[in-house]
Amino acid sequence: MHNGTILLVDDEPEIIKLMQIYLENEGYRLLMARDGLEALEQVSRESIDVMVLDVMMPNMDGVEACMKIRETEHFPIIMLSAKGQDMDKITGLSVGADDYVTKPFSPLELVARIKSQLRRVRKYTHSPALEHEMILDELSINSATHEVTLAGESIKLTPREFAIVELLARNRGQVLSMEQIYEKVWKEQYLESNNTLMVHVRKIREKIEADPRKPKYLKTVWGIGYKMEKFD
């Protein structure tokens, strides 16, 4: 399972190699093309989630390729260009690009822009496949397959741990009491002396949090219960 398919279109091998390392480390499936013509071929036979498209290329430049792709496709396109003037940005966006990054760029910035475009698309797309998937920053929860991934890496949760994560993710941003969580997951009455839920939460944090003592995703709301952080 991967986090999405990215088509990187650029005629500079150094940029291709550099971004291949960063994107594959983030769990993306990477496709590559050296010019606009190759990009059109990839689009015709592959399902693309985000395209990163250089402006200046041989055979067919990025502007022309973007215009042709926009005749049939609606996935996000991020334009790359060494030209940073406002007019170049306006031109890129006016032909159908969703974002614009100026060379030289930070690979981490480009990855962040890609993630932003993916979040935007998934937020407003209601296809059956995506209804099962919840994306919380780098954490992905799939209720259909019971798969959880963190930054593209598979996380092994027990059925009870998954049920807790799924419940909190579906209600992300909202605080659920310990009683609510326990009775929904265990299907039995909650007793205050029962620390089973706390033990499960600790084990979940050990698996999904970089620092379980300072959780990013699964937060404790003292005196009430737990919530899964909401990421826009």
Residue pLDDT tens, the chain, 232 long: 567 899 999 999 999 999 999 998 988 999 999 999 999 999 998 889 999 999 888 888 888 899 999 888 888 999 988 776 566 666 667 778 888 888 888 999 999 999 988 887 776 554 444 457 888 988 999 888 888 999 888 999 998 999 999 999 988 889 999 999 999 999 888 887 788 999 999 999 999 999 999 999 999 999 899 999 987 6
Per-residue confidence (pLDDT) for residue 190, from 0 to 100: 86
Per-residue confidence (pLDDT) for residue 128, from 0 to 100: 44
Domain with 161 in it: 133-228
Same domain, 203 and 148: yes
Residue where a domain terminates, one of 125, 143, 172: 125
User: How far apart (Å, rounded) are the C-alpha atoms in residues 95 and 146?
Assistant: 40
Residue (of 15, 63, 21, 13) closest to 39 by Cα position = 63
Same domain, 116 and 188: no
Q: Which residue(s) pair with 58 in the sheet?
A: none
Same domain, 86 and 140: no
Pairing of strands 218-221, 77-81: unpaired
CATH number at residue 182: 1.10.10.10
User: How far apart (Å, rounded) are the C-alpha atoms in residues 230 and 135?
Assistant: 10
Same domain, 177 and 221: yes
CATH number at residue 94: 3.40.50.2300
Same domain, 118 and 140: no
Residue where a domain terminates, one of 75, 109, 125: 125
Same domain, 108 and 152: no
Residue where a domain terminates, one of 64, 94, 125: 125
Q: What is the DSSP letter of 216?
A: S
User: How far apart (Å, rounded) are the C-alpha atoms in residues 29 and 6?
Assistant: 6
What pTM does this model have?
0.54
Q: Which residue spans within the chain are E strands per DSSP?
A: 5-9, 29-33, 50-54, 77-81, 99-102, 133-136, 139-142, 147-150, 153-155, 176-177, 218-221, 225-228
* Helical ranges in 78-211 per DSSP H: 86-94, 107-124, 128-131, 159-170, 178-186, 196-208
Same domain, 141 and 111: no
Same domain, 216 and 187: yes
Per-residue confidence (pLDDT) for residue 127, from 0 to 100: 46
- Could you give the 3-state DSSP secondary structure of residue 67? helix
User: How far apart (Å, rounded) are the C-alpha atoms in residues 194 and 102?
Assistant: 56
Same domain, 20 and 114: yes
53 within 8 A of 60, measured Cβ to Cβ? no
Same domain, 99 and 139: no
Residue (of 145, 126, 123, 153) closest to 136 by Cα position = 123
Structural domain tally of the chain? 2
Same domain, 137 and 121: no
Same domain, 144 and 73: no
